[in-house]
Structures are given as structure tokens and as C-alpha cells.
Chain A
Amino acid sequence: MLNLRDAGSHFWDRLNPIQRKIFVVVAIAFLFVVPYLNEFGPTSFLNTPIASFKDALVYPIGMFVLMALGLNIVVGKSGLLDLGYVAFFAIGAYTGAILSTTTGLNMWEILPIGIALAMLSGFILGLPTLRLRGDYLAIVTLGFGEITRIVVLNSKFTGGTNGVPNIPPPPKVGPVVFNIMNPQNYYYLIVVMILLTIWMIRRLSVRRAGRAWEAIRQDEDVAMLMGVPTLKYKLWSFTIGAAVGGAAGVVFASKVMVIAPGMFDFQVSILILACVVFGGIGNIWGVVLGATLLAYIPERIRFLTDTRQLAFGLVLVIMMNFRPDGLLPRKKREKIKEKAKETK
């Protein structure tokens, strides 16, 4: 079968620095025109039949990519199975919703608060539970996701089943206006957040934290024997992952303007995890591709109505049969290039 990942890395390796810069500029320019692809003849087949294409690009596609990248830090980098990732998304969203409707702070001011609260809850959850491994950790995080949803559903300050209505959109930045008429601007905001997240992951991966995560993922006991403070680095990956989820939540709340507990159920955690696994655990570009497809396909085939979920499930099962390691699997390294060592 065609190896997309190797083809991609070969392509990149062959480019000289100038060609690489051009490629990056073209890629970013392409991301810029994506919201208009459905209006352009040859690519109009991309249009989503029921949701507006621009809205679908924000949620689910952009949000899923962002959250999948966040979850990938936890699942892919340090190998911790988190089944309750939606909790951080919910914490970010409710922080954004409640603060913006009660305090008059705008979204840009709330964003760091939402991130901080998500990180704090990740830290508080992680401190006792990250001593657990594998299946046990998965069960505890699953419980945390459900508890968060049930608390939100039954509390007064979160509006119970009705959720929080009338969340104001973010104020404009220069000429960029955020409102219902301009969903593409939310899309651009999310693209920026995605690029920042990718940049952050790549920076961390080549540093001490990246080495520590790699060691923990491959063999936690031996990592301890090497003097890696495993609990500390597991907590870091958990809280950084939570931060990305929280950031996604704050932006999500300001985009949809009404949030309710039903948006944060267990299924979202599973879908985000599916994005990571489907794309290729631990590979950033795989995760981006996986999340894009898994978010886009259900929107594209919405005309199937009742059979939509069935068709979607079938696609997943068939795909995972042919590519069990995901679309773009993490590199299995056998011969490590000398060149790669020197550039580090």
C-alpha cells in the first residue's frame, strides 16, 4: 500500500530552504481560501449539504483538529489513555460562557482564564490518578468526563439543562469581525490556534520534555531508572493537553453563543480519541488529517440522515482494517539518520 507518510517526508527532504518557504506560504494561502472552496466550481463537491460549509469548518472540523492535537500530547506523546478529554473542553466552554455573560470580560480576556482553569483541573485530576497505569487511568478519566458533564447538568450556576444562552462573540481585532455573518473569521482564528499548538508540540518534542515523554511511553519503569521524574512529566503532558482543550472550549462557546450540557457528552471524548487513532497516534500530521476527515465525513454525508452513522462506522471499521496504525502512522525508526542528529 502507498506509504503516504514516507512520500510526504521524502518530498519535504528533497526541498531546499527556499522551496520549503514557498511551500509553507502556499500551504498557508491555501488554508486562507479553504472557506471559499465550496463556492468555486471544481471544488464545489466539498460543500456540506445541511450545515453551512464555513460553519462546519469551525465546528466540528477545526475544533476536532485542535482537540485531537491536544489529546495527542496525552495519548500519543506520553502514552496515557484519556477517555474524558471532553471535560477540559467543557470547562473551557463554561468558563467562557459564564464569565462573558456575568462579568463583561471579553473572549480574549477570558481565554487565558479558561486555559488556566482547564490546566488546573487537569493538574488536580492528574496528581492522584497518574500513578495509575493503562486501563485504570482510562477508567478514572472516563469517570472524570462524566462527572464534569453531570455537575454542569445539575448546577445552578451553569444553567442546568438549559445551559448558558446569549454568549457574546469576541470583539473585533483590527478589521476582523467575529459574528454569525462571518464564520470564516472564527475558522481563521482556529487555524492560528492549531498552528500555534503544532509549533508548541514540535518545540517540546525535541526538548527534555519530549525525551522524557518518549521514554515514559516506551517503558515507564526504565524511564524512572534513568532518573526521569515520571509523575512530573505525565502531569505536564496532561495539563498541556488540558490547556489545548480549554482554549478550544472558550472559542467554541463564543462561536455557538449557546452552550448546553448535551454538547459535552462521552461521545465527544471517544470521537476525538478516534481522530487520533484513525490519523495515526503520535504523528501530528496524521492526527490533523484524521481529525479533518472524521469531522468532515459525517457532515458531508448528512443527506443520508438515518443511515449516516452506520455508513460512518463502516468507513471506520474498513479503514482500521487496512491501516491498523492509522492513516499516517508514527515513524518506526530502524536506522536513525546521522543528519537528523546533527540538526537537533
Chain B
Amino acid sequence: MRLEIKDLRVFYGKIEAIKGISVVVNQGEIVTLIGANGAGKTTTLKTISGLRPVTSGSITFDGQDISKMPAHERVALGISQAPEGRGIFPGMSVLENLEIGKYFRKDRRNEMKEDLEKVYHLFPRLKERAFQAGGTLSGGEQQMLAIGRALMARPKVLLLDEPSMGLAPMMIANIFKIITEINTELGTTILLVEQNAQQALQRAHRAYVLETGKVVKEAKASDLLNDPDVRAAYLGTGANAH
């Protein structure tokens, strides 16, 4: 598995949101994109999963150029996303939400039980809530559901868009712990977009810092935690790395 974005440019009408960024995600890594509001983090993820068209540049997945491929075919290749704002189907039960995560899998009937067990093992709360409508869950539970649903597709790379957004500190710590578990236990490669740079950098192997549509820094996550510029801009002066 190797996801490579080369010189990617994306426009919203006449406004250039992504101004030629290059990102590489290798097998088994947790890579994080950090940056402020409007830096282009979410747009990058949406472009990788096919919700936004590429203006120029390329996205290659396992050596195959996927920049023109429709979104649903990218899911079949192994790219799954837990979208910004979680994107839970409010009128479907937790179980139905999880089931639809397997929508495109040919062998879904046989895989279903095993993968549900896997997700329930990671998020026992979802099992308790299995028959409750997605819209009635708390924010943290919805985030668990969004991640669990993305895992149902057996992704090779999991794209997470601000999983900590709007959650209580306890829940944030919990979610990040599980993200690490997914990476180590299931061996799923993760591309994580975060504003919570502190947590993201602690969990990730490598990181890219985005500013107004450009990559301004690229380094090992632990190095960035100690980088004075990054600390000043994203971590606050009082932040303590490890």
C-alpha cells in the first residue's frame, strides 16, 4: 500500500484551495496533516476520496492513478473515510450504519459477522447501542460509529477527518488511543487530519504542516513536537511534549 499525492491543486470555483501539495503515506504508517482552519486539510482528504475533482496534479494508490476515478470505486480499492462532522446516517440504526459501510464488498454476507465483532471489540459502546438510531448518539459515540463504519470496508488506508472535533477531553484521549490500536492491531494505515496538533503529533509517525493550501513543513511527528515554530503556532507555549 502506498498513497502518493503529487503537486495536487484543487479549486473551488476560482479560489485555489490546494496550491500544489505533495504527500506520501506508506504502508503501516500513521501520517497526520495539521494546520489551522482553511489550510486545506479537509479539502485534501475529500479530494483523495473523490468528493472533490482534481484540477491538476495526481493521486496514485498502489501505483495506479486514481485522480479521475469515481468516489465509490476508490472505496473498493481500499480507501475509506470517516468524514468531517462524522456523517452518520441519522435515520438508520447503528447496525445499519455499520452494514452500509460494507456496501460495495462482494463477499459482504460472509464478512459481516466477523467484521461486526471486530468493530464491537474496538468500540463496545456501539454494541450496546446497535439498535438505536444513529442520530440519537452522543458526539463521541457518533465518532466511534464513523470510524467503525469506515473499518467495515476493510480499508487499506483509513482517512480520518478531525476525529476530535467537538468532543470532551476524555473522549478525545479515548478516540486517539483507539486510533493507535487500529494501526497496531489491525495494521491499517491511517491518514489523520487534525487541528488538535498535540494529540495528533503524539500518535503519528510522520506529519505535514499545511498553511493556506501549501505544505510548509514535513518531518517525523516527534521532531515537530519539539519544533519551536510548530510549538508556537499550533501547540501553545505551555505544551509539554511527552
Task: Please give the residue numbers on chain A whose beta carbons come within 8 Å of chain B beta carbons, in ascending order.
Answer: 208, 211-212, 214-215, 218-219, 221-222, 224-231, 332-338, 341
* B89 engages A225 (CB within 8 Å): no
Give the residue of A212, A215, A336 whose beta carbon is less than 8 angstroms from that of B131. A336
* A215 engages B89 (CB within 8 Å): yes
Return chain A residues, CB-CB under 8 Å to B72: 224, 227-230
* A222 engages B153 (CB within 8 Å): no
* B153 engages A227 (CB within 8 Å): yes
Give the residue of A219, A228, A231, A333 whose beta carbon is less than 8 angstroms from that of B87. A219
Further contacts, 12 of them, CB under 8 A, given A215-B89, A226-B75:
A214-B89, A218-B89, A222-B87, A225-B80, A226-B149, A226-B153, A332-B91, A333-B91, A333-B92, A336-B95, A336-B131, A341-B131
* B50 engages A227 (CB within 8 Å): no
Interface assignment of B184: CB less than 8 Å from any CB of chain A: no
Return chain A residues, CB-CB under 8 Å to B70: 229, 231
Complex Cα spacing A225 to B91, Å: 18
Return chain A residues, CB-CB under 8 Å to B83: 221-222, 225
Return chain B residues, CB-CB under 8 Å to A229: 70, 72
Among residues of B, the one whose C-beta sits closest to the C-beta of A212 is B103
Proximity bits, B50-90, A CB within 8 Å = 1, else 0: 11000000000000000000111001100011010001011
Complex Cα spacing A333 to B101, Å: 20
Among residues of A, the one whose C-beta sits closest to the C-beta of B101 is A226
Please judge, given known A-B contacts A212-B103, A335-B131, whether A225 and B93 are in contact too, CB under 8 Å.
no
Please judge, given known A-B contacts A215-B100, A222-B87, A334-B133, whether A227 and B75 are in contact too, CB under 8 Å.
yes
* A218 engages B92 (CB within 8 Å): yes
Among residues of A, the one whose C-beta sits closest to the C-beta of B134 is A218
* A218 engages B103 (CB within 8 Å): no
Task: Please give the residue numbers on chain B whose beta carbons come within 8 Å of chain A beta carbons, in ascending order.
Answer: 49-51, 70-72, 75-76, 80-81, 83, 87, 89-93, 95-96, 99-101, 103-104, 131-133, 135-136, 149-150, 153
Q: A233 CB to closest chain B CB, in angstroms?
A: 10
Return chain B residues, CB-CB under 8 Å to A219: 87, 89
* B133 engages A225 (CB within 8 Å): no
Complex Cα spacing A218 to B104, Å: 18
* A218 engages B91 (CB within 8 Å): yes
Complex Cα spacing A211 to B89, Å: 11
Complex Cα spacing A229 to B71, Å: 8
Return chain B residues, CB-CB under 8 Å to A208: 103
Q: A273 CB to closest chain B CB, in angstroms?
A: 22
Among residues of B, the one whose C-beta sits closest to the C-beta of A208 is B103
Name 26 A/B residue pairs within 8 A (Cβ), A-sorted.
A208-B103, A211-B96, A214-B92, A215-B100, A215-B103, A219-B87, A222-B89, A224-B49, A224-B50, A224-B51, A224-B71, A225-B71, A225-B80, A226-B100, A226-B101, A227-B72, A227-B104, A228-B72, A228-B104, A333-B93, A334-B132, A336-B93, A336-B133, A337-B131, A338-B131, A341-B93
Among residues of A, the one whose C-beta sits closest to the C-beta of B82 is A225
* B51 engages A221 (CB within 8 Å): yes
Return chain A residues, CB-CB under 8 Å to B51: 221, 224-225
Give the residue of B101, B103, B132, B149 whose beta carbon is less than 8 angstroms from that of A335. B132
Return chain A residues, CB-CB under 8 Å to B133: 333-336
* B100 engages A211 (CB within 8 Å): yes
Max chain B Cβ within 10 angstroms of own Cβ: one of A229, A230, A231, A337: A229
Return chain B residues, CB-CB under 8 Å to A333: 91-93, 133
Return chain B residues, CB-CB under 8 Å to A224: 49-51, 71-72
Complex Cα spacing A228 to B99, Å: 12
* B87 engages A225 (CB within 8 Å): yes
Complex Cα spacing A211 to B98, Å: 12
Among residues of A, the one whose C-beta sits closest to the C-beta of B93 is A336
Return chain B residues, CB-CB under 8 Å to A336: 93, 95-96, 131-133
* A211 engages B103 (CB within 8 Å): yes
Complex Cα spacing A337 to B93, Å: 10
Return chain A residues, CB-CB under 8 Å to B131: 335-338, 341
Q: A155 CB to closest chain B CB, in angstroms?
A: 38
Among residues of B, the one whose C-beta sits closest to the C-beta of A332 is B91
Q: A318 CB to closest chain B CB, in angstroms?
A: 29
Return chain B residues, CB-CB under 8 Å to A231: 70
Among residues of A, the one whose C-beta sits closest to the C-beta of B131 is A336
Complex Cα spacing A230 to B103, Å: 12
Complex Cα spacing A229 to B104, Å: 9
Return chain B residues, CB-CB under 8 Å to A332: 91
Q: B143 CB to closest chain A CB, in angstroms?
A: 14
Return chain A residues, CB-CB under 8 Å to B132: 334-336
Max chain B Cβ within 10 angstroms of own Cβ: one of A225, A230, A334: A225
Complex Cα spacing A335 to B150, Å: 23
Complex Cα spacing A310 to B182, Å: 63
Q: B183 CB to closest chain A CB, in angstroms?
A: 20
Complex Cα spacing A335 to B50, Å: 33
Complex Cα spacing A335 to B134, Å: 10
Complex Cα spacing A335 to B91, Å: 10
* A334 engages B136 (CB within 8 Å): yes
